[in-house]
Amino acid sequence: ALERTFSIIKPDATRRNITGKIIDRIESSGLRVIASKRVHLTREQAEGFYAVHRERPFFGELVDFMISGPVIVQVLEGENAIAKYREVMGATNPADAEPGTIRKDFAESIEANSVHGSDGGDTAPNEIKYFFEDGEIVG
């Protein structure tokens, strides 16, 4: 089915000026970028976005990292976009990611792993709404 998923290109990627290389991987996979903006998250925005991880030992460092520089938040659309983007990203830990995935080829570490993507059909719509009004999404 035609789906939408949410993506963040993380601060390690904006810092290294490789956002175009990452967007090329996204578009080459057949996914379409139907909304996009570059933002510097506030601590409150980052904590709210990752609230599900609040009790995890890495939460503080994750939030510090996500506010360490600008990010690009995007809505991606395509057939089975949620699972497709997870394939394109590769495993959370780049050491475990398959060759040819964004994280294998670009990520610096499990924390500075270049991209975030929604993990399922329950989270994708909420993550999209967290950053985008309906009128900002142009499919």
* Residue 68 sits in the site that holds ligand CMP (CB under 6 A): no
Choice between 77 and 119, CB closer to ligand CMP: 119
* Residue 92 sits in the site that holds ligand CMP (CB under 6 A): yes
- The verdict on whether 53 is a catalytic residue reads no
* Residue 58 sits in the site that holds ligand CMP (CB under 6 A): yes
Is 10 annotated to bind ligand?
yes
Measured in degrees and rounded to the nearest 5, phi and psi for residue 103 equal: -70, -40
Is 103 annotated to bind ligand?
yes
Among 77, 105, 108, 111, binds ligand CMP (CB under 6 A): 111
According to DSSP H, which parts of the chain are helical? 11-15, 19-28, 43-49, 59-66, 81-89, 102-106, 124-131
User: What is the spatial distance between Cα 59 and Cα 79, in angstroms, rounded to a whole number?
Assistant: 32
* Residue 36 sits in the site that holds ligand CMP (CB under 6 A): no
Least distance CB 62 / ligand CMP (angstroms):
5
* Residue 123 sits in the site that holds ligand CMP (CB under 6 A): no
Type of residue numbered 88: V
Is 17 annotated to bind ligand?
no
CA-based nearest residue to 86, from 108, 114, 117 = 117
Type of residue numbered 105: D
User: What is the spatial distance between Cα 59 and Cα 64, in angstroms, rounded to a whole number?
Assistant: 9
Residues that bind ligand CMP (CB under 6 A): 53, 58, 62, 92, 110-111, 113, 116
Residues that constitute the known binding site for ATP: 10, 58, 86, 92, 103, 113
